[in-house]
């Protein structure tokens, strides 16, 4: 198998608590032909200083994640692009499997790869988040591709810089109209930290601010499995898992209710205020 260069593009903002573990996991990959590109957004902590131990390709760009990702792609030299958040940790063979799938199946028109995630962290709400991710593993409404051939990424214009949050789904959705989106077996560990309900709701509020742009762009109804949790088939297909821990199950639904309120308020503000 060929060993093409893979550009790993990381977006950060005050990520000193998590960035070193991610960078270490990249350096520990079984696949070695990797360049690391970090695009920071005006961090006030030690994020950039920590990163310089691992790469000299460190840039400052904002104001949001989509802009950072596109800038990293512009500065990259790899045949393939892997986009990561700073709170992720790669298992050892992620990049190797991605390259193998692409090099073997590229002629079949694979435009992107989903890398499954497993959450970790501390506290009850993180356990609820872990349960949610387990229930919906493998569902198209829950997962999004983050590994792309650079030529396809460029063909589709990269991430929509008007979106923050929905851009994870929006780019692969555009690509999927012409190319296949496949899924690998190796996974990313996602550091959820330790959340409160208010923090989770605020995060969904922020992402909700641009949700209407995504829905309008793809002519989608507001009522769909990505926006309305009870429409997600995973809850019903995996009912044994759901009811294995009744207390955690109830906690998960309380968490989802808080996130729905936050996301809904963000949607309303974005839809009726930002468009004016």
pLDDT in tens, 200-259: 999 999 999 999 999 998 888 888 888 888 888 888 887 777 677 889 989 999 999 999
- Whether 101 maps to a domain, the answer reads yes
The whole model's pTM is what?
0.92
- Whether 1 maps to a domain, the answer reads no
Half-sphere exposure of 207 (CA within 13 A, CB side): 18
Which residue is it, tokens 């090099």?
103
The CATH number given to whatever domain includes residue 206 is 3.90.550.10
At CA 162, angle to CA 45 and CA 141, rounded to 5?
95
Q: What percentage of the chain exceeds 90 in pLDDT?
A: 74
Confidence grade of residue 170 (pLDDT, cut at 50, 70, 90): very high
Count how many domains the chain has. Answer: 1
Q: What is the DSSP letter of 161?
A: T
- What is the reported pLDDT for 235? 80
Domain of 100 in residue numbering reads as 6-274
Q: What is the DSSP letter of 12?
A: E
3-state SS assignment for residue 99? helix
- Whether 152 maps to a domain, the answer reads yes
pLDDT in tens, 98-140: 999 999 876 678 999 999 999 999 899 999 999 999 889 888 8
Residue 12 in tokens: 């950060």
- Whether 251 maps to a domain, the answer reads yes
- Whether 127 maps to a domain, the answer reads yes
């Amino acid at each position: 198998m060929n060993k093409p260069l893979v550009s790993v593009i990381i977006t950060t903002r005050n990520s000193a608590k998590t960035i070193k573990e991610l960078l270490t996991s990249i350096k520990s990959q079984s696949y070695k032909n990797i360049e690391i590109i970090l695009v920071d957004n005006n961090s006030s902590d030690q994020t950039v200083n920590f990163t310089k131990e691992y790469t000299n390709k460190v840039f400052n760009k904002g104001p949001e994640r989509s802009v950072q990702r596109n800038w990293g792609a512009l500065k990259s030299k790899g045949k393939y692009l892997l986009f990561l958040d700073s709170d992720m940790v790669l298992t050892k063979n992620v990049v190797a499997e991605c390259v193998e799938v692409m090099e073997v199946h590229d002629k079949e028109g694979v435009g992107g790869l989903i890398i499954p995630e497993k959450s970790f962290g501390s506290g009850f709400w993180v356990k609820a988040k872990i349960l949610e991710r387990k229930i919906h593993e493998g569902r198209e409404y829950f997962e999004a591709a983050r590994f792309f051939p650079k030529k396809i990424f460029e063909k589709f214009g990269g991430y929509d810089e008007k979106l923050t949050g929905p851009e994870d789904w929006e780019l692969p959705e555009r690509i999927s109209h012409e190319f296949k989106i496949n899924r690998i077996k190796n996974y990313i560990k996602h550091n959820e930290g330790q959340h409160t309900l208010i923090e989770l709701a605020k995060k969904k509020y922020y992402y909700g601010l641009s949700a209407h742009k995504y829905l309008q762009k793809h002519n989608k109804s507001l009522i769909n499995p990505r926006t309305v949790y009870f429409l997600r088939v995973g809850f019903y297909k995996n009912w044994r898992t759901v009811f294995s821990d009744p207390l955690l199950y109830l906690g998960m639904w309380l968490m989802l209710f808080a996130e729905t309120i936050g996301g809904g308020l963000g949607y309303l503000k974005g839809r009726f205020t930002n468009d004016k």
